[in-house]
Structure 1
Amino acid sequence: MRAVVFEKFQTFPTLREVERPSPGPGEVLLKIAGSGACHSDVALYKEFAEGQPGSFAPPFVLGHEASGWIEELGPGVTGFSKGDAFLVYGPNGCGHCKACSRGQDTYCENAATMPWAATGIGRDGGMAEYMVTPARNLVPLGDADPVAAAPLADAGLTPYHAIKLSLPKLAGGGKFALVVGLGGLGQVAVQILTALTGATVIATDMKQDAMDRAAANGAVTVPGGPDQVEAIREITGGRGVDAAFDLVGAAPTIRTAQACLAQRGRLTVVGIAGGVTEWSFFTNPYEAETTNTYWGTIEELYEVVAMYRAGQIVPDVERYPLDRFDEAYRKLESGQLSGRAVIVPHA
């Protein structure tokens, strides 16, 4: 079969023929419907070096946002029918620690001993015609479009987890939420906030087309620039926002979000651009907190899929056949994508 393989650090991945995998005990073989291209993929092959924390030794197939149809069941697997569509929960922990037992493999207590973090991150992922995954990681899609659903495995689940933890800050009238960065995750974050809260959602980015899409989903938009913070605070009547979500994670975006917080507000840094910022008792609004989150639980992915099937989340995707994967990644690297590129191996 054909697959997009990360073969060497700081080297662009290649499309090549590899052996089609066979499912082992407790696993299934999926015929891939779609696999989303993510900035994390770019970090894996372009930015990480051998031995660097967070890196995983190549070679392996990329693609941690995957959906597909059941093709074959491994030994001991029952309850699935060939052709049924599923979304894949990407994280793969040890399966038996407290975190994994609650469905949060991202925070696996034995992560340091694992040879991978997820499908597509150390373990062969979904940028291929077929992929093997544990049966426990499958979330049913029913008759929903599996290609459009693929990015929800990360671009939907990651902001959903962060927003769900912040919902107490947004309960009640007169609340404000801020989304910084309107790429694939930011656009979904706007939709989730609009569906789950009554808060006024403020969205900010440097790209006008991204802000236009956020506005179409109910956000009040503010362009980036020297007057950005002042404009955001003006919308809130000078008080600041109750919950902010930085989907970039660079130093300037973290500082912007911090400067917009109200007293007792909450900033969640979701993006992993590696930004560093300062904290001071005299500048931090009283009881305002800054935290970070990573991905989410499989239970939450079921909830994300329920929102997708109800029409509350509509991912903005660009579809590419497998032999044009390089075009998708080049556009992602250069910032030309505003939605999510999805590779469709069987187009």
Structure 2
Amino acid sequence: MKALVFYGAGDIRYVDVETPEPKPGEVLIRVKAVSICGSDLNGYRGKSPFRVPPLIMGHEFSGEVAKLGEGVTNVKVGDRVIVETNLYCGTCANCKAGFINICENRKIIGTTMKAGSYNGAMAEYVVAPANKIIPLPDNVSFNAGALIEPLANVLHAIKHVGSLEGKDVAVYGAGPIGLLTIMSAKYFGAKRVFAMEILDNRLEMAKKCGADVVINPTKEKASHVIRKMTDDVGVDVVFDAVGFAETVKDSAEMVRNGGTVIWIGLGAATVEIDYKSAVARELGFKGTYMYITEMLEGIEILKSGKMNVEQIITGVYPLSEGPRVFEELVSGKSKDIKVVLHP
């Protein structure tokens, strides 16, 4: 089969590799759509410990069942599917406590974790455990199906703050995760959504996704704008999908007393927080990682037709063009926001 194989920083190649065979309890999936995650781009840059070459990346994907391993009865050849890519152990302390998203022994399809590497879906075929297969409804396209995994991350993040009904929400960053957060906030009844982003094409997409107010922080200080528009109260919740020192600081300044800042972005290793202010204002800061049951919830949302995740897909290319697409996304030559590859 053909696959995109990551060989090192700046080196990803479209090559022939052996088609995997499903073992007992596994399923071979013919990949129909695989999207490029920001973490894949960090891997390509050589800046991710979770992408150790040689590796076939790709953890956001959809496809059709092509072959069944021995003993598999929950799906059949030809079924449209997506996959829960978090392969947790189920026996560690975190798993036993229900935190399967931070399993100590997990593997994640398309990545390298402590437990080892697992080739992903930037290929014509990928193998996955049968118990991780999720049916994809007929009215949800393969392209949309490839975005259910990142949507699940967002839905999990929102659960940390409970109801968004009638609340003012700010979202820092209008990349794919930020845009999915904007759409989800509106879906769950947010009164106003403020979006902050430095790239104009992404600000326009944020408007399209439902942002009520868009702000370019290079032109005006976002927290000042938000304070002015909320009578100096601030927003109820901030979702920081960037994670840089500047966004962390500004998020704390724009959230109301007693409000919550959710950290989704993995931009910086360390940041500074005004500890005394956070204590005196009873601010809440919460990190969020992956998902638990939210892929199933994401499917139901898309099945209902009440959220159009495909609108953030700005580029669809053959898998064979993957090396060019990666290079142009990382170099800035491409202005695509979310890219889907078709094997």
Q: TM-score, normalised by structure 1?
A: 0.89
Alignment of 1:174-185 (within 5 A): 175-185=167-177
Structure 1 position 333 matched with structure 2 position 330: yes
What is the rounded CA distance, in whole Å, between the counterparts of 2:65 and 2:94 in structure 1?
27
- C-alpha distance after superposition, 1:63-93 (max 9, x if no partner): 1111110111111110212111111211122
**Number of the residue aligned with 1:151:** 147
Shift of 1:292: 0.9
Partners of 2:47 and 2:336 lie apart in 1 by: 24
Structure 1 position 2 matched with structure 2 position 2: yes
Structure 1 Cα separation of the partners of residues 291 and 247 of structure 2: 22
Residue aligning to 1:136:
131
Alignment of 1:175-254 (within 5 A): 175-219=167-211, 220-225=213-218, 226-254=220-248
2:324 matches 1:324: no
Written as runs of structure 1 = structure 2, the 5 A alignment for 1:1-347 is 1-8=1-8, 10-48=9-47, 54-97=49-92, 99-100=94-95, 105-111=100-106, 116-121=107-112, 122-143=117-138, 144-154=140-150, 156-168=151-163, 170-171=164-165, 173=166, 175-219=167-211, 220-225=213-218, 226-284=220-278, 286-297=281-292, 299-315=293-309, 316-317=312-313, 318-335=315-332, 336-345=334-343
Task: Please list the CA deviations of residues 162-194 of structure 1 after superposition, one character each: whole Å capped at 9, or x if unmatched.
Answer: 1122124x35x4x21110000111111111000
Number of equivalences: 331
The separation in 2 between residues aligned to 1:327 and 1:228, in whole angstroms, is: 35
Q: Deviation string for 1:279-319 (max 9, x for gaps)?
A: 3344326111112111111x210101111122233222121
Specify the SS of the correspondent of 1:79.
Answer: coil
In structure 2, distance between residues paired with 1:334 and 1:74: 41
1:45 alignment partner, SS class = helix
Distance 1:245 1:6, change over 3 A: same
- State the alpha-carbon separation in 1 of the partners of residues 12 and 144 from structure 2: 23
Of 253-262 and 335-344, more deviation after overlay is shown by 335-344
Q: Distance in 1 between matches of 2:243 and 2:168?
A: 20
Report the identity percentage: 30
Q: Distance in 1 between matches of 2:198 and 2:337?
A: 15
Partners of 1:268 and 1:188 in 2: how far apart? 15
- Give the C-alpha shift of residue 151 in structure 1: 2.3
- RMSD of aligned C-alpha atoms? 2.0
Amino acid at match of 2:208: A
Give 1:33 deviation, angstroms: 0.7
Shift of residue 234, structure 1, vs aligned partner = 1.5
Q: Which runs of 4+ in 1 moved over 4 A?
A: 98-104
* Cα distance, 1:45 vs structure 2: 3.1
Structure 1 gap segments, 5+ residues each = none
SS at structure 2 position matched to 1:13:
strand
1:92–1:106 CA contact under 8 A, matched in 2: no
Range with bigger deviation, 125-134 or 306-315? 306-315
Query: Contact between 2:244 and 2:271, CA under 8 Å: does it hold in 1?
Result: no
**Separation of aligned partners in 2, 1:338 and 1:236:** 33
Task: Report SS of the residue matched to 2:162.
Answer: helix
Deviation at residue 239 of structure 1 after TM alignment: 0.6
For the 8 Å contact 1:263–1:287, the answer to whether it is kept is: yes
Measure, in 2, the Cα distance between the counterparts of 1:59 and 1:202.
41
Whichever residue aligns with residue 209 of structure 1, its letter is N
Which shifted more, 37-46 or 245-254? 37-46
